[in-house]
Copies of this chain bind each other. A is one copy, B any other.
Amino acid sequence: MGFKLHNFYMNSAGRRVRTVLHLKNIPFDYVSVDISPASEAQLGDAYGKINPMRLIPTLEHDGVLLTESLAICDYLEELYPTPSLYPADRMERAHAKAIAMTVAAAIHPLHNTRVMKYLGQSLHLDQKASAEWYVHWADKGLHALEALIERAEQSRQEDGSFVFGKVPSIADIFILPQIENYKKLGLNLEPYARVCRVVDACNIHPAFIKAAPENQPDFPSP
């Protein structure tokens, strides 16, 4: 009974949901789905029955399986409204969700493991061309996120380091894992001061720290 999260330490959509679970202090069992190229557990029959799209994560609640990170976050928000993932103002709520969706639907899908694999194995792109693909979409995404955070700042009701003020929202929760991937790959984030400020704020917040890859049970020991 209770919650089981099928996810993987280095999966960024899983990290979004982990952050929400920790932010709301919801206990859960961590079920590791090894999506590393050597294992590809997401392509096996067992995970296919759990998540027909074969993406990470899946939340299991009392045996019921729920897919898609934003649907999972909003479900948890309904069950445990405090602390909320959304600002109090209705239009800010919509903007927060739009930023989360920009990451989930406009940025992340083009960097996904399955897509990068297709570029290499089916289209036979070399490393340089694959990197160009990655950076092309990252640049567009970063530009948009910076502009959307600026737009939020112009209308938000509270100042602060997070997108909508002093506490994190769904916007920050979706931004962080994406940008951490970019940092790991050495992308130049200097032109995106607002994005960097948000990331710095997330990285010293307890719920985000608990959800970080290196603090997961399936993180490889040195």
Instruction: Write the residues of chain A forming the contact surface with B, with a CB cutoff of 8 angstroms.
Output: 52-55, 61, 64-72, 74-75, 78-79, 90-91, 93-95, 97-98, 100-102, 104-106, 108-110, 115, 118, 122-123, 125, 129, 132-133, 136, 140-141, 143-144, 146-148, 151, 155
CB-contact partner of A68 in B75, B101, B123, B151, under 8 A: B101
Q: What's the minimum C-beta distance from A161 to chain B, rounded to whole angstroms?
A: 21
* CB proximity of A61 to chain B, nearest CB, Å: 8
Given contacts A67-B148, A68-B105, A105-B105, contact A74 B53 (CB under 8 A): no
- Is B94 in contact with A66, judged by CB distance below 8 angstroms? yes
Q: Are B109 and A97 in touch, CB under 8 angstroms?
A: no
Query: What CA separation (Å) do A84 and B143 show in the bound complex?
Result: 34
Within the complex, the shortest CB–CB distance from A167 to chain B, in Å, comes to 19
Whether B52 contacts A147 by the Cβ 8 Å rule is: yes
Number of copies: 2
**Which single member of B91, B105, B110, B148 contacts A115 (CB below 8 Å)?**
B110
Contact B143 A106 (CB under 8 A): no
Given A123-B129, A144-B53, the answer on whether A68 and B102 have CB atoms closer than 8 Å is yes
A101 touches B104 (CB 8 A): yes
Give the residues in chain B near A106, CB-CB below 8 Å.
Answer: 53, 55, 68, 109
| Docked pose: A93 CA to B73 CA in angstroms | 12
A55 to B64, CA, bound (A): 34
Q: Are B94 and A53 in contact (CB under 8 A)?
A: no
Contact of A101 among B70, B95, B98, B132 (CB under 8 A): B70
Least distance between A131 CB and chain B CB atoms (Å)? 13
Looking at the complex, which one of B91, B108, B123, B147 makes contact with A64 (CB distance below 8 Å)?
Answer: B91
Q: Which of A74, A108, A125 has the most CB of B within 10 A?
A: A74
- State whether A95 and B118 are in contact (beta carbons under 8 Å apart), knowing that A52-B144, A105-B105 are contacts in the complex: no
Report the separation of the CA atoms of residues A147 and B55 in the bound assembly, to the nearest whole angstrom: 14
